[in-house]
Amino acid sequence: MESLATVVARAADALPAWRRLPAPRRAETLIRVGELLRDRKSTLAEIITAEIGKPPAEAGGEVQEAIDMAYYMAGEGRRSFGQTVPSELPDKWAMSIREPVGVVAAITAWNFPIAVPSWKILPALVLGNTVVWKPSERAERCAAAFAQVFTEAGVPPGVLTIVTGDGRVGETLVRQPAVSLVSFTGSRENGRHVAIACAELGKRCALELGGKNAVIVLDDADLELAVDGIVWSAFGTSGQRCTSCSRVIVHKGIRAALTEALVERVKSLEIDQGAADRCEKFIREAVAAGARRLTSGATLLDNVTPRMRIAQEELFGPVCVIIEVGSLAEAIAVNNDVPYGLSSSIYTRDVNQAFAAMRELSSGIVYINAGTTGSEVQLPFGGVRGSGNGWREAGQAALDTFSEWKTIYVDYSGRLQRAQIDR
């Protein structure tokens, strides 16, 4: 087996030719990636289901997201705009362009073994970077099938390479001298470790670290719509999404009706028992502190206060707590008073309250009358506080993550011009 240093060295060797290939040509390769993903959507979905247990419909949706990302980022091959601006001096041209960062280390989690890597690999490649990808050891079959698509699409050797293994492999990859950028998806604890290592080594790192997401339900909300959104957001994928809803912040005027409707829906759900079992210690602790367990398996807890540990920490499982509030202002304060800030949602028919929430909710993503789940590839994805470190995935923002700005001046005056000194 090749050493990690050898793999990274190959990525560094492949960088000059790939970055010099015109961006529209790199984009043509991404188009082929999208076409192959489209043709193999059902096969890839079956691999996801077999390896990590994701339901077939959700697995197919994940592959579709990678298809969408391939086509979207292919467009950036002709659309990665810089700027041309007026110079303050005569006979002088001023502009900026994007340049690749270099060798990118992509480290991804198991729960979205194709979609999340696509958010990193595709923008990195179209911008001219090379990528060494360390997938989760729980999803290596998915990773191999996904990487094979890039090879068949014509991505040259060394431009995208997989390395496998546990967290120790990821740590070694982070510390490789030739790696310029680390793009990491995982837990807040591991993300902090990555950030410290990158700071010590002078590397850029982009972190996506999860959330403690909430759905706010005001007393004028469409109750049936809110229940649909909460159930899907909290218990879809057994609550094992970084955007999963784990808190329902409900106005006291609608609490009883909402709770009754949620219990009726949730008690019939079939959930991954292993994911549920891993949350039991948090549930028992909350019950001991005064919470009331309304369902098992897919677990609803009532009488939860905002500062309980179960209302503060990411559980990554099928557990959702109900917190009562008396006003929109109180709901927003409860929503914001957690270590994370990835996704927030509010159900209301009052446009004024919706716009107030859009302004005041402290999270990277806000949904109005929809649950805390789902993303579209043309907009930035990521969070604030413990949910990330400011860099975003998807959309135009991903281009900033995976590129450097170069500012260029062309002075055709034929004389020395000294800017502000000559003024």
296 and 210 Cβ atoms separated by less than 8 Å: no
Give ∠ CA 129-132-137 in degrees, rounded to 5.
150
Output the CA–CA distances (angstroms, integers) from residue 324 to 236, 328, 357, 398, in the order listed.
Answer: 23, 11, 17, 37
Helix/strand/coil for 336: helix
Of 142, 198, 205, 242, catalytic: 242
Phi/psi at 416 (nearest 5 deg)?
-75, 120
Place of tokens 């090749």: 2
Q: Is 208 a catalytic residue?
A: yes
Place of tokens 């009754």: 260
- Rg of the chain on CA atoms, in Å: 24
Q: Is 242 a catalytic residue?
A: yes
Phi/psi at 344 (nearest 5 deg)?
-135, 155
Of 62, 65, 76, 208, catalytic: 208
Place of tokens 């467009």: 75
- Chain mean position to CA 286: 29
What single letter denotes the amino acid at residue 372?
Answer: T
What single letter denotes the amino acid at residue 213?
Answer: N
Closest by Cα among 167, 127, 96 to 18: 127
Write out the two tokens for 178. Answer: 């030739």
13 and 158 Cβ atoms separated by less than 8 Å: yes
Kindly write down the DSSP assignment for every residue of 256-276, as one continuous string: HHHHHHHHHHHTT----HHHH
Place of tokens 């559980």: 315
DSSP 8-class letter at 393: B
| Residues with active-site annotation | 208, 242
